[in-house]
């Protein structure tokens, strides 16, 4: 996917239809199979009347509920949840831009593009129906590279979007001119979720993984500058950092960069290998990183990893994390776990939300409200802070 133009598609202004309930599933959602019930096989008039009464009663109960409430998601005591946007096909990543608009990376409804970008103001009358909202469609690359985009970060100074290939080798920059340009190439294995982020100094940090197998899958052979990794038989995470504002041409070659983690001469390559790191986010002056087995570390500027806590066991697939100014960390466990964990500054773990519809990206606004992309339900929900 070299430098190419993406297309902006306008489908009409977003609607804010308060008469349209936020409940239910958008068109295209696969209904779960249902076992046949005894009641459905009854054919007598009395059974039909009973069924009709039950349906009317259920509709009456639904009518008295707040139509903004996010039915299906359980949240911790003292919190509530609400739907802020519907009609986004398969949203997977969220980020706020400098103006307070929520930027959404979507896989799209038709599966015929690498990604789609939506942008809306969450302060509008809610819920916002984005079914006909304008969006930016990023086409698949020409040739055989058909990777989809699975990670998102926004450059604070200029608002450029940085998008990472899921299970790929490249990171792209999408500017205001709607031109997609490779920003980083030469990675071994870039995962989705929170695989990239901007730190507090406006530098892009991103995760990779080194092993003999990933070196064979990389776009180019390992250069001499990183040969010490193979010489020491290093198998483990790599964390890189670049400054996109530097007067240097793009794309930057990750295979020629010196990683923040591990540092050469640190002896990490001769220690017990660290599990694969699959998420990174800025936290105060440091970084917080998540491993594939649920270990949460704090990474200091000098490259020292300090364990904060361990999350409950499970399969963390495409997880996302974000940190509040006070040091509280939120971790979305991903599709298999379907929970959001809250880690206090002291390291205690609690469940902030559960029973989510394939949760993806999460983002915090200036008030401390947490926004969650529910991929399976094609919507964005909000959990206001206490």
pLDDT for 122: 92
61: left (phi over 0), alpha (psi -120 to 50) or beta: alpha
CATH 2.120.10.30 in the chain: give the residue spans.
Answer: 69-383
Identify the CA nearest to 318 among candidates 162, 194, 135, 226.
194
- Are the beta carbons of 276 and 209 closer than 8 angstroms? yes
Judge if pTM exceeds 0.85: no
- Are the beta carbons of 59 and 21 closer than 8 angstroms? no
How many CB atoms are closer than 10 A to CB 162?
22
Spatial distance between the Cα atoms of 375 and 287, rounded to a whole number of angstroms: 27
Identify the CA nearest to 334 among candidates 92, 115, 171, 167.
92
Q: Which residues of 314-329 are buried (b: 16+ CB within 10 A; e: fewer)?
A: eebebbbbbbbeebbb
291 forms beta bridges with 277
Sheet holding 340-343, edge to edge: 74-75, 349-354, 340-343, 329-332, 320-323
CA 73 vs CA 64, 82, 354: distances in Å: 18, 10, 6
Backbone angles phi, psi at 291, to 5 degrees: -95, 170
- Are the beta carbons of 183 and 171 closer than 8 angstroms? yes
Q: Which residues of 29-42 are buried (b: 16+ CB within 10 A; e: fewer)?
A: eeeeeeeeeeeeee
Residue 267 is encoded by which pair of tokens?
């002896």
Integer Rg of the chain from CA: 23
- Are the beta carbons of 92 and 107 closer than 8 angstroms? yes
pLDDT for 127: 93
Identify the CATH assignment for 69-383 out of 1.25.40.20, 3.10.450.350, 2.120.10.30, 3.40.50.620: 2.120.10.30
Sequence-separated contacts (24+) of 141-146 with Cβ below 8 Å: 141/1, 141/2, 141/4, 141/114, 145/1, 146/114
Spatial distance between the Cα atoms of 291 and 274, rounded to a whole number of angstroms: 8
Spatial distance between the Cα atoms of 358 and 23, rounded to a whole number of angstroms: 16
Print pLDDT tens along the chain (386 aa): 665 668 777 665 444 443 433 333 333 333 333 333 332 333 345 545 555 545 444 444 433 344 456 666 788 887 888 999 999 999 999 999 999 999 999 999 888 899 999 999 998 888 999 999 999 999 998 777 778 999 999 999 899 999 999 999 999 999 999 999 999 998 988 999 999 999 999 999 999 988 766 655 556 666 666 665 555 567 789 999 999 989 888 899 988 888 888 876 555 555 555 688 999 999 998 999 999 999 999 998 887 889 999 999 888 888 999 999 999 999 999 888 899 999 999 999 999 999 999 999 999 999 999 999 999 999 999 999 76
């Amino acid at each position: 996917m070299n430098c190419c133009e993406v297309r902006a598609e306008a489908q009409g202004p977003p609607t804010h239809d308060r008469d349209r309930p936020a409940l239910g599933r958008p068109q295209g959602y696969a209904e779960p199979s249902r076992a046949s019930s005894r009641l459905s096989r009854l054919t007598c008039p009395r059974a039909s009347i009973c069924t009709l009464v039950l349906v009317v009663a259920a509709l009456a109960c639904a009518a008295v509920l707040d139509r903004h409430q996010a039915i299906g998601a359980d949240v911790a005591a003292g919190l509530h949840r609400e739907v802020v946007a519907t009609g986004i096909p398969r949203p997977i990543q969220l980020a706020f831009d400098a103006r307070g608009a929520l930027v959404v990376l979507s896989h799209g409804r038709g599966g015929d593009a690498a990604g789609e970008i939506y942008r809306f103001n969450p302060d509008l009358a809610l819920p916002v129906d984005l079914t006909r909202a304008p969006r930016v469609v990023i086409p698949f690359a020409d040739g055989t590279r058909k990777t989809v985009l699975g990670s998102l970060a926004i450059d604070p100074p200029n608002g450029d979007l940085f998008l990472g290939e899921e299970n790929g080798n490249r990171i792209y920059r999408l500017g205001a001119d709607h031109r997609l340009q490779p920003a980083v190439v030469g990675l071994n294995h870039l995962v989705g979720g929170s695989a990239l982020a901007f730190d507090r100094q406006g530098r892009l940090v991103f995760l990779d993984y080194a092993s003999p197998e990933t070196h064979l899958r990389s776009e180019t052979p390992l250069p001499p500058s990183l040969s010490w990794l193979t010489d020491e038989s290093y198998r483990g995470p790599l964390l890189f950092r670049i400054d996109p504002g530097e007067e240097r041409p793009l794309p930057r070659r990750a295979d020629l960069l010196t990683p923040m983690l591990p540092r050469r001469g640190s002896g990490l390559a001769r220690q017990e290998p660290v599990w694969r790191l699959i998420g990174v986010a800025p936290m105060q002056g440091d970084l917080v990183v998540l491993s594939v087995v649920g270990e949460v570390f704090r990474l200091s500027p000098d490259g020292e990893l300090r364990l904060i806590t361990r999350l409950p066991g499970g399969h963390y697939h495409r997880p996302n994390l974000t940190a509040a100014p006070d040091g509280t960390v939120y971790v979305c466990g991903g599709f298999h776990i379907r929970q959001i964990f809250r880690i206090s500054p002291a390291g205690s773990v609690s469940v902030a939300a559960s029973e989510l519809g394939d949760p993806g990206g999460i983002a915090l606004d200036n008030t401390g409200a947490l926004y969650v992309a529910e991929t399976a339900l094609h919507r964005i929900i909000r959990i206001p802070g206490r």
